[in-house]
């Protein structure tokens, strides 16, 4: 019962470094998402993928890129990390975009110094 | 401006009482509204989904109402227990093709 698996769980980056957050789901879901969560601001959508082969910007896409590698995997890349990207990142998946429950990973706590 | 409002102040109640959490929204006409539970250090977990044509939805001790005229959803936990202590998030479609979340309300149930 893996569900949605994110790696890594914790990461510290220096300003300007790059990294990729990995996400995989084993529920054969069509839709996948990346959110960031900051204190007092709730979850904010960075990018989403309605289905394999498609990606779309969410509310806060600047500074990020994504790849829907296949139906299972959806990665988030920070090309040049900034302190403002210090946050907890959550990947999620669902059968459909709005009308189905979303399953979340355990999160990646990223600190940019 | 368009937004989703949940009470940012924590809700403290006694064990056995009914907890009622509020989700208000403006300038949207969502077809779906969802409620999630989030524990510290964990990802949100789905609880209930209600559609615009449904007034009320129940699941065990949980009840959700959806008033599209008032633009409000109420989330009730009856016979609350200390294990119900968590942050509860509402989420709805705001014209984007993916869910938009409120900032959540923290519930603390005192034994």
| Beta bridge mates, B89 | B36
Write the pLDDT tens digit of every residue in A43-101.
999 999 999 989 999 999 999 999 998 999 999 999 999 999 999 999 999 998 878 89
Confidence class of residue B34 from pLDDT cuts 50, 70 and 90?
very high
> Which of A43, A66, A100 to probe the B interface (max B CBs under 10 A)?
A43
Distance (Å, whole) CA B109 – CA B80:
7
Written as one string, the DSSP assignment of A6-29 is EE-SEEEE-TT--EEEEEEESS--
Write the pLDDT tens digit of every residue in B6-17.
987 899 999 999
Mean pLDDT score, B80-92: 96
Are B89 and A58 an interchain contact pair (Cβ–Cβ within 8 Å)? no
Confidence class of residue A1 from pLDDT cuts 50, 70 and 90?
low
User: Which of B31, B42, B99 comes nearest A102 by C-beta?
Assistant: B99
Sequence-separated (6 or more) residues with CB below 8 Å from residue B48 = B34, B35, B57, B59, B62, B64, B75
Q: Hey, is A1 helix, strand or coil?
A: coil
pLDDT at residue A96, as a whole number: 84
Do residues B65 and B55 make contact, with C-beta atoms less than 8 angstroms apart? Answer: yes
């Amino acid at each position: 019962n893996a569900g949605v698996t994110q790696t890594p769980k914790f990461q510290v980056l220096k300003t300007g470094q790059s990294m990729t957050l990995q996400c995989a789901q084993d529920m054969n879901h069509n839709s996948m998402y990346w959110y960031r969560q900051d204190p007092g601001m709730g979850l904010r959508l960075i990018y989403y993928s309605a289905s394999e082969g498609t990606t779309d910007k969410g509310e806060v896409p600047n500074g990020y890129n994504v790849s829907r590698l296949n139906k299972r995997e959806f990665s988030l890349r920070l090309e040049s990390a900034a302190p403002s990207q210090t946050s907890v990142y959550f990947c999620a998946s669902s059968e459909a975009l709005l009308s189905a429950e979303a399953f979340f990973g355990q999160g990646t706590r990223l600190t940019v110094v | 401006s368009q937004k989703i409002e949940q009470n940012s102040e924590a809700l403290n109640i006694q064990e056995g009482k009914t907890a009622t959490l509020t989700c208000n929204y403006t300038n949207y006409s969502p077809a779906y509204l969802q409620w999630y539970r989030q524990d510290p250090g964990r990802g949100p977990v789905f609880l209930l989904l209600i559609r615009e044509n449904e007034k009320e939805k129940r699941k065990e001790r949980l009840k959700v109402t959806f008033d599209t005229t008032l633009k409000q959803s109420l989330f009730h936990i009856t016979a609350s227990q200390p294990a119900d202590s968590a942050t509860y998030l509402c989420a709805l479609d705001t014209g984007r093709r993916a869910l938009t979340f409120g900032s959540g309300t923290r519930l603390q149930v005192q034994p």
